[in-house]
Amino acid sequence: MSEAGASVDAVAAEAAAPAAAASPPRPGTARRILGALRRRRVARSWPALLAWLLLAATVLVALLGPLVVAADPLRQTSSALLAPGAPGHPLGTDDLGRDELARLVHGARPLLLVSFAATALAAGIGTLVGLVAGYAGGVVEQALMRLVDLALAFPSILLVILLVAAAGPGTVSLILGIGSSLAPGLARLARTLTAREAAKDYVVACRLGGTGAPRILLREVLPNIGGPLLAQVVMTLSIAAGFAAGLSYLGLGIQPPQPDWGYMVQAGQEFLYTAPRLVVLPAALTLLFVVACNFVGDDLRDALDPRGTA
């Protein structure tokens, strides 16, 4: 290279250095997602707005409902199967004389606890595996994705039942089983998004500049794939809720006498014709929560995915 060319490059580098030093740091994943939500408003249609309201109402009932409803969901009265509107029991009682409203309110918390915790576990495992596989490539990617493909080869519900049955029924086993079974799907999505971002110029520039892989993944790649990933995580929440309710119905989930919507459906099915509310109410609440999660996930995808609709 000639001296003139070298001097031009040196001058350009010196001019670019102060500008790069003065530029503000790039926002993190959470700030980018919030910024995207401000630019493209969520709940722009009435189904999406209704879904957001249902999801928020369910969370509020799970958190604050037990503080508002004073009745004990475990206390049995002398009169069983009281009709709705009975004094002190707005929704009546079940076959053991327990207040149905109190059981519905207290039954929301176990379902949401398992659903949110299992989804968080699946998101953590899946995102980590996908980031490493998509960024490293080569043998590391092949080894990790073959494990993911092996896990995806099993039906999810069968895998959950096997994991929960092996660990025994209970909250912890439910979270571990559901979270482990849902992680491979999120890992595949995270790997695809990471591989797409890893080929872009800004990641290549960071590599050439000597930035370490963990810093590139956390500061550069993750903020750019956080939007689509978050939308899929919310939709995964609906699957986790369905699994939690289904396993409780089969007797592998939350154990009695603790109220839980899935178990309440199983316990009330023999009274389906004489007292259908014992089945219809917990089943309808579970269905509304699952559907709301799906609509909210779709709404977030439209708002956060750069390849989504305008």
| Number of domains present in the structure of the chain | 1
| Nearest partner of 160 among 109, 127, 114, 124, judged by Cα | 114
From residue 202, alpha-carbon distances to 66, 80, 91, 145, 211 in Å are: 50, 68, 60, 25, 11
Give 143's pLDDT tier (boundaries 50, 70, 90). very high
Q: Mean per-residue pLDDT for 16-33?
A: 49
Contact predicate 99/72, CB 8 Å: yes
Give 3's pLDDT tier (boundaries 50, 70, 90). very low
Q: What is the per-residue pLDDT for 307?
A: 56
Structural domain of 62: 49-66+95-304
Q: Is residue 128 part of a domain?
A: yes
List Cβ<8 Å contacts ≥24 apart for 277-286: 277/84, 277/91, 277/92, 277/100, 278/94, 278/95, 278/100, 281/91, 281/100, 281/104, 282/104, 282/107, 285/58, 285/104, 285/108, 285/261, 286/111, 286/241, 286/242, 286/245, 286/261, 286/262
Q: Is residue 254 part of a domain?
A: yes
Q: Which helix (H) or strand (E) holds 309?
A: none
Q: Is residue 208 part of a domain?
A: yes
Q: Is residue 210 part of a domain?
A: yes
Q: Is residue 166 part of a domain?
A: yes
The CATH number covering residue 261 comes to 1.10.3720.10
Q: Is residue 44 part of a domain?
A: no
Q: Is residue 11 part of a domain?
A: no
Q: Is residue 250 part of a domain?
A: yes
The mean-pLDDT minimum among 15-24, 62-71, 140-149, 286-295 falls in: 15-24
Residue pLDDT, tens place only, 230-278: 989 999 999 999 999 998 898 888 888 889 999 999 999 999 898 899 9
